[in-house]
Chain A
Amino acid sequence: MAAIETTSSAKPGAAARPNWLMRDLLGLAVILAVAAIGYFLFPNNLALLTRILGVALLVLSIDLVTGFCGVATLGHAALFGAGAYASGIAAVHFGITDPLLMVVVGAFGGAVAGVVSGAVILRGHGLAQLVLSIAVVHLFHEAANKASAYTGGSDGLSGIAPDPVFGLFAFDLWGRTAYGFAVALVVIAFVVLRLITRSPFGMLCRGIKEDPIRIRAMGASVQGTLLKMYVISGAVAGVGGALNAISTQVVGLDSLSFTLSAEALVMLVLGGTGSLYGALIGTVSFMWFEDFVSAANPFHWLTIVGALLIAVVLFAPRGLYGTALALVDRFRRTGK
């Protein structure tokens, strides 16, 4: 938050204050309000809310490469899981139990995984790219399975005991600290990503998504730019993984699964690509709905989730956020 405020006052052209800044501040206020409402409305369900926020970081990171750069991937959990395992292994085997340090380690692990998987995935286009991304997440999964001395293999990596945050806030049984920690991470990530997507680099990525040939004709490197975005995306997913490791205190192979990759992509499409807001809205709606329906109807919940997705994709192809924006836009135009 502080970052946004300082840039606004430091901006030389701030005489005509850009309205995107106001919109972002408003968006941030809404995120914080929703987080607070969640805290007070579901005090017994903070573990779920924290898990949602961890996955939200993964979905944000997919939005960076898919929504902003047009790279199709069904293997992004590889970056999330790499962050989770990196911070988990750091805690269990190397005694790095400070939660902030664990997050840094997770971000680094995710970024490294981003370089590796980006270098592979970006070789292909379209369908080939999708297949490569699936292959990558399977390889990561298998590597974690085989390296059981470090990862605990299929039993998972347990015994992660993070220290109190800043030495003050211990991780409690109700998950209050974990939730607060998660909200802080998501808000910081959101603000940073908002700035990155508006930066010259972010513009270049949008250009690549719309027409890579034109970008090359401008003398810019498409592959290099995409790989850089993959690294940033990996760091964000890695933070999500680390958050998951810290809050649940275990890391399982499911954090590196194709299923998680696919579900996260579904959440992004559900919310709407290329805005970051859509990623958050999609994650919260999908995971909340999944939890709600699976409790209400344990036998047919997957069918109901599937039906909902079909409905959204058919009737709101731009996702919940994109469609809502379009409706607001239409309402304004007819209102005038």
Chain B
Amino acid sequence: MTAVFQVQNLNKAFGGLAVTQDVSITMNPGDRVALIGPNGAGKTTFVNLVTGHLEPDSGKVLLGGNDVTSLSPTLRVRQGLVRSFQVTRLFPDMTPEEHLALAVMQRTGRTGAIFGHYQAKPDVMAEVAELLRTLGLDHIATRKVAEIAYGQQRLLEIALALALRPKVLLLDEPAAGVPQSDTPRIEAALAGLPADLAVLMIEHDMDLVFRFARRVIVLAAGAIIFDGSPADVTRDARVREAYLGSYANDRSAA
């Protein structure tokens, strides 16, 4: 299998502080990887380097074998590297249907058209309906986003990413801020992601990580200290020390 996403020897320092140190990751289609690490481990910096919002000091980012290190964030999205946001970023005055229609039309290069209406485009409407159904949002398709529940907004955030038909999906804490009662729906949505999609999830909730990921990468002080299966991660001494130690203790205490 050919790698769809590769990060090679990425380095970034702010002043004298190295926040990303020689990070390399390779992902294949269908991968389900969780990126974890304590606060300040450099997860956000890593995401910004990968999406192109920060420029690395050295190293490369490759998408489907193409070097995208010098491309703008927007162009990386068009090449199939799509992210979701930790804090929901949606258009409060627009409906879920409008969000998804806009994303589908953007992907298919039709947002430049100054005439016409998305509801008059059968292919757009069909795809939007399919996405709404998949994520269980069809009953609120025409409500304003400001009026729908936060859990539903999180689902729309995922739907919006899928509407762009990514090759690689970066999920930034997809369940953050969602009430406990709604997390099963988010997890179901994550379980239902396209099988050939490579997913890299940044997540704090370890229960979610263990249910979702088939591979876990642990970042500490800007460097990868573990890359392996979820079963092994809790047994790794360095990980315990850097991160899971306190968590494991909390768990046993509770």
Contacts and interface: CB of A to CB of B under 8 A. Distances in A.
Given A12-B120, A18-B119, A217-B89, A200 B94 contact: no
Nearest to A14: B120
Contacts of A228: 112
A307 interface: no
Contact of B73 (A11, A200, A216): A216
A198 to B, nearest CB: 6
Contact of B106 (A198, A211, A220): A220
Contacts of B247: none
B111 A211 contact: no
A206 B101 CA distance: 13
A211 B89 contact: yes
B48 interface: no
Interface in A193-219: 195-196, 198-204, 206-207, 210-211, 213-214, 216-219
B26 interface: no
B91 A199 contact: no
Contacts of B82: 217
Given A218-B164, A219-B74, A200 B118 contact: yes
Contacts of B114: 195-196, 199, 201-202, 232
A203 B101 CA distance: 9
Contacts of A210: 91-94
Nearest to B84: A217
Given A199-B114, A211-B90, 13 more contacts: A13-B125, A18-B119, A199-B117, A200-B101, A200-B110, A200-B111, A201-B114, A206-B93, A207-B91, A216-B73, A216-B77, A217-B89, A219-B75
Interface in B175-203: none
B214 interface: no
B113 interface: yes
Contacts of B90: 211, 214
Nearest to A202: B114
6 contacts: A199-B114, A200-B101, A203-B111, A211-B90, A214-B90, A221-B74
Central interface residue in A11, A196, A198, A219, by most chain B CB within 10 Å: A219
A199 B101 contact: no
B15 interface: no
B114 to A, nearest CB: 5
Closest 7 A/B residue pairs (Cβ): A219-B77, A210-B91, A214-B89, A219-B78, A204-B111, A201-B114, A200-B111
Give the bracket for the number of chain B residues in contact with chain A. 35 or more
B115 interface: yes
Interface of B: 73-75, 77-78, 82-83, 85, 89-94, 98, 101-103, 105-107, 110-120, 122, 125, 160, 164
Nearest to B79: A219
A65 to B, nearest CB: 15
Central interface residue in B90, B105, B122, B125, by most chain A CB within 10 Å: B105
Central interface residue in B73, B82, B83, B102, by most chain A CB within 10 Å: B102
A109 to B, nearest CB: 20
A195 B120 CA distance: 13
Given A12-B120, A207-B94, A201 B77 contact: no
Contacts of A206: 91, 93-94
A18 B114 CA distance: 19
A220 B117 CA distance: 18
A201 B112 contact: yes
A199 B164 contact: no
Central interface residue in B90, B111, B113, by most chain A CB within 10 Å: B111
Contacts of B115: 195-196, 199
Interface in A150-164: none
Contacts of A11: 117, 120
Contacts of B106: 204, 218-220
A200 B116 contact: yes
Contacts of A214: 85, 89-91
Central interface residue in A11, A196, A218, A225, by most chain B CB within 10 Å: A218
Contacts of A12: 120, 122
Given A213-B89, A219-B164, A203 B119 contact: no
